[in-house]
Structure 1
Amino acid sequence: MLRFAPSPTGDMHIGNLRAAVFNYIIAKQKNEKFLIRIEDTDLSRNIEGKDKEILAILNLFGLLWDELVYQSHNFKHHHSFAEYLIREGKAFYCYCTKEFLEEKKQEAISKKIAFRYDDSWAELEKRPSAKPVVRLKGAEGFVRFDDEIKGHLEFAPAEIDSFVILREDGVPTYNFACACDDMIYNIDFIVRGEDHVSNTPKQILIQKSLGYDKKIGYAHLPIILGESGGKMSKRDSASSVSWLLEQGFLPQAIMNYLISMGNKTPTEIFTLSEAIEWFDITNIAKSPVKFDIKRLRYLNREHLKRLNESEFALLLQSKDMSIGAIGKLHLEEASTLNEIREKIDLIFKPKDIAKHYENENFEFECQELFKVLIGMVEVDSKALNDYESFKNEAMSLSNLKGKKFFKPLRILLTGQSHGLDLSVLYPYIRFYLKEILHIKDKQ
């Protein structure tokens, strides 16, 4: 079984989604189940409703799970494992106060040596009322594992001293709960971010101490860099999956981009189901990859092009194929649904003819042409049937020519002074001329 284990403590980061996608793909390739484990043990940081938001995003991206569990529901198992480790002498109670440990840490800093916990400290601060933590005994030998991306990794005993597995309040630490649950659900391969590399040897040590010898495969994904070149953080808007969706990026385009980041893919544009056929985790580059919003915009446009007019209309909250067709036409100059909505909204909003377009004002010409166009619509002129006839009659009746005609015509029909060729756009907007031809009231 493979798993994706998000914490309900904030928005889903694109790095988290990337890990979820890879775990899902590998589960499908291996014909194994895909588990979602909500890691909600950090009770103070959990945000109400975030779990539902995470699940909704996974569902939207087609990452359908076979099982869903909440880590906090396994507390009783975590405690049983901890009690077993204490009985076996592989874990022990530690009464050290935070102040004591901080003092020791500062001593190490002053001596310019690495801070390491000393097991002899465990009972120095013992008091009748003290609530101890439980620590797992540190590694006695090297902890080694092979990573599908990073290669062979090993950690010396000095790097893994005795660490906390149960806090004072009895809540299991991240590493302990994670290691226990990977055992409980028989996880055999884990894809996650490289910030977890230092956690992996601790989790392996926990499992070995519990007598669990199953070899779990690992792949730690390189970090995603922001456009500035630094590690992408929550302060980068584009790091949030929700933000990208709100901007009008399609799930399939985001998915395409995340799979192709630092990866060798046989084709540039693909779907999730297509990626399952050829994806290979060992092709992921070891080095960090920079997030490129321009690249995502390109992929988004390509996926929008793949949609038919009905599908496009539905994304624009319309059942009218003509709206979908208008949307597709705007892919020449727009890349996201939001940008296309803005273009279409301008077509149907009352036109601001008083403002300057490209440092010129066409208010008088717009007024004159507006009267002509309204008149043609009211009498249902036959000239409305095609663009050439429409243009020629409007030009003749308005006595406007050249830029004095074409700029006002474009402004009245689209709300902009430049854009798509009107001869291409007109066949789709001619059915809406009554709704389109409105002038904004002066304030």
Structure 2
Amino acid sequence: MLRFAPSPTGDMHIGNLRAAVFNYIISKQKKEKFLIRIEDTDFARNIADKDKEILSILNLFGLLWDDLVYQSNNFSKHQQFANFLIKKGRAFYCYCTKEFLESKKQEAIEKKIPFRYDDSWAELQKEQNPKPVVRLRCQEKKMSFDDEIKGHIEFESNELDSFVILRDDGIPTYNFACAIDDMLYDISFIVRGEDHVSNTPKQMMIQKYLDYHKKIKYAHLPIILGEDGKKMSKRDASSSVQYLLSEGFLPQAILNYLIGMGNKTPTEVFDLKEAIEWFDITHIAKSPVKFDLKRLRYLNREHFKRLNESDFALLLGTTDLSIGGLAKLFLQEASTLNEIRTKIDLIFSPKDIYKLYENQDFSKECQMLFATLKTMLANKDYAKSDYEEFKKDAMEQSGLKGKMFFKPLRILLTGDSHGLELDMLFVFIRMHLQKIVMIVE
């Protein structure tokens, strides 16, 4: 089984989504189940309903799970395993206060040496501290594992000290809960961010001490850099999946982009189903990858091109095929749903003829042409006419010519003085002219 283990403490980051996608793909390739494990043990930081938002996003991206569990439901099992380790002498109670440990850390800083917990401190403050934590007893051995992306990784014995597995309130720490749950659900392969590399030997040690010897494969994904070349943080708007969706990026385009980041792909544009056929986690680059919004915009436009007019119209909240066709036409100058919606809304909104267009006042000509078009539309149905017929009638009846005709015509039809060719647009707007020819009174 493969798993994705999000925490309901903040928005879904694109790095998290990337890990979810890869775990899902590998589960399909290996024909194993895909588990969602909500890691909700940090009660102080959990955000109400954030788990539902995460699940909604996964569903939107087609990452459908076979099982869903909440880590907090396994607290009793975590505590049972901790008791087992204590009885075996593989874990112990530590009565050190936070103040005592902080003083030891300061001593290490002053001596310019790495801070390392000393097992002999465990009971020094037993009388002062009635609420001990539980620590796993560190083994004095080098640890290593083979990462599917990064290769062989080793940890020296002095890099691991006896670490906390149960807090003083009985709540399991991240590494302890994670290691046990991976055992309980028979996880075979874990894909996650490289910030978890240092957690891996701890989790391996926990499982070994619990006499669990199944070999789990690991792949740690390089970090994603912002466009400024620095590590992308949650403060970067583009790092939020919800933000990208709200900006009008398609889920399939975001997936395409995340799968292709630092990867060798046989084709430039693809969907999730296609990626399952050829994806290979070992082809992911070891080095960090920079988030490229321009690249995402390009892929978004390419996925819009794959849509038919009916599906495009539905994205815009209508079943009108002409709107879908209009949207596809605007792909020449727009790449997100929001940009396309803005252009279409401008067409169907009252036009402001009194503002300056290209530093020029066309209000007088717009008023003249507006009156002409109202009369024309009252006397004739142009729903099946071509642009040349409509243009000829408008020019003859208004008496306007050249720039003083075409600029006002474009303003009245599109709300702007430049853009796509009117003969191309007219095919899709001719049946809506009565709604389109409006001005701000």
Amino acid at match of 2:125: E
The residue identity in structure 1 corresponding to 2:239 is S
Say whether the 8 Å CA contact 1:383–1:393 is kept in structure 2: no
Please tell me whether residue 406 in structure 1 is matched to residue 406 in structure 2: yes
Distance (Å, rounded) in 2 between the aligned partners of 1:151 and 1:386: 64
Q: Distance in 2 between matches of 1:78 and 1:385?
A: 73
- Partner residue in 2 for 1:26: 26
> For residue 103 of structure 2, what is the aligned residue in structure 1?
103
Q: Compute the displacement of 1:362 (Å).
A: 0.3
Deviation at 1:156, TM superposition (A): 1.1
Counterpart mapping for 1:7-406 below 5 A:
7-127=7-127, 130-380=130-380, 385-406=385-406
Q: What percentage of residue pairs aligned between the two structures are identical?
A: 73
SS in 2 for 1:198: helix
How far 1:139 moved relative to its partner? 2.4
Residue number in structure 1 paired with 2:432: 432
* Other structure's SS at 1:93 match: strand
In structure 1, what is the Cα distance between the partners aligned to 2:295 and 2:403? 36
Aligned CA distance change for structure 1 residues 87 and 387 (closer, same or farther; 3 Å) = same
- 1:146, 1:383 → 2: CA distance? 67
Decide whether the 8 Å contact of 2:135 with 2:162 is kept in 1: yes
TM-score with structure 2 setting the length? 0.99
Alpha-carbon shift at residue 381 of structure 1 (Å): 5.2
Cα offset, 1:128, TM superposition: 6.2
Q: Which runs of 4+ in 1 moved over 3 A?
A: 381-384
* Structure 1 residues 317-364: Cα deviation after superposition (integer angstroms, max 9, x where no partner): 001111101111000000000000000000000000000111111000
Gaps of 5+ in 2: none
SS at match of 1:68: strand
Corresponding residue pairs, total: 441
Structure 1: tracts of 5 or more residues without a match:
none
Q: 1:280 is aligned with what amino acid?
A: D
- Displacement of 1:127: 1.9
Distance of 1:331 and 1:354 partners within structure 2: 29
2:383/2:431 contact within 8 Å kept: no
Give the C-alpha shift of residue 130 in structure 1. Answer: 1.6
For residue 199 of structure 1, give the secondary structure of its aligned residue in structure 2. helix
Quote the Cα distance in structure 2 between the aligned partners of 1:382 and 1:263. Answer: 52
Q: What is the SS of the residue equivalent to 1:134? A: strand
Q: Deviations over 1:132-160 (max 9, x none)?
A: 00000112211110000100001111101
Matched to 1:379, the amino acid is N
Cα pair 1:19 1:193 within 8 Å, conserved: yes
Distance 2:135 2:119 in 1: 9
Change (3 A) 1:339 1:114: same
Q: Give, as a single letter, the amino acid of the residue that structure 2 aligns with 1:118.
A: D
SS of the residue corresponding to residue 374 of structure 2 reads helix
- Partners of 2:49 and 2:108 in 1: CA distance: 42
CA shift, 1:26, in A, is 0.2
**Counterpart of 1:7 in structure 2: which amino acid?**
S
Deviation at 1:382, TM superposition (A): 6.0
Distance 1:384 1:276, change over 3 A: closer
RMSD of aligned Cα (Å): 0.9
How far apart, in 2, do the equivalents of 1:359 and 1:76 lie?
A: 72
CA distance in 2, matches of 1:273, 1:127: 61
Per-residue CA distance 1:154-198 (angstroms, 9 max, x = gap)? 111110100000000000000000000000000010000000000
Q: State how far apart, in whole Å, the 2-side matches of 1:41 and 1:118 are.
A: 27
Q: Distance in 2 between matches of 1:152 and 1:251?
A: 34
Contact 2:36 2:69 in 1 (8 A): yes
Question: 1:21-42, CA deviations, whole angstroms, 9 ceiling, x for partnerless residues?
Answer: 0000000000000000000001
Q: 1:382 to 1:251 in 2, by over 3 A?
A: closer
SS in 1 for 2:198: coil
Q: Distance in 2 between matches of 1:129 and 1:383?
A: 84
Distance 1:427 1:174 in 2: 60
The one-letter code of the counterpart of 1:323 is I
Once the two structures are overlaid, the 10-residue window that deviates more, 126-135 or 238-247, is 126-135
* Residues 401-439 of structure 1, C-alpha deviations (whole Å, 9 max, x = no match): 111100000000000111111001101101111111111
Within 1, Cα distance between the matches of 2:128 and 2:229?
53
Q: Does the 8 Å CA contact 1:13/1:241 hold for their aligned counterparts? A: yes
SS state at 1:350 partner: coil
CA contact (8 A) 2:95 2:129 kept: no
Report Cα offsets for 1:189-227 as digits up to 9, x if no partner.
000000000000000000001111111000000000000
Task: Report if the CA contact (8 A) 1:2-1:32 is conserved.
Answer: yes
CA contact (8 A) 2:90 2:136 kept: yes
CA distance in 1, matches of 2:372, 2:77: 79
Amino acid at match of 2:405: F
TM-score by length of 1: 0.99
Secondary structure, counterpart of 2:103 in structure 1 = helix
Instruction: Specify whether residues 87 and 307 from structure 1 end up closer, same or farther in structure 2 by C-alpha distance, changes over 3 A only.
Output: same
Which letter does structure 2 place at the counterpart of 1:191?
V
Letter in 1 for 2:9: T
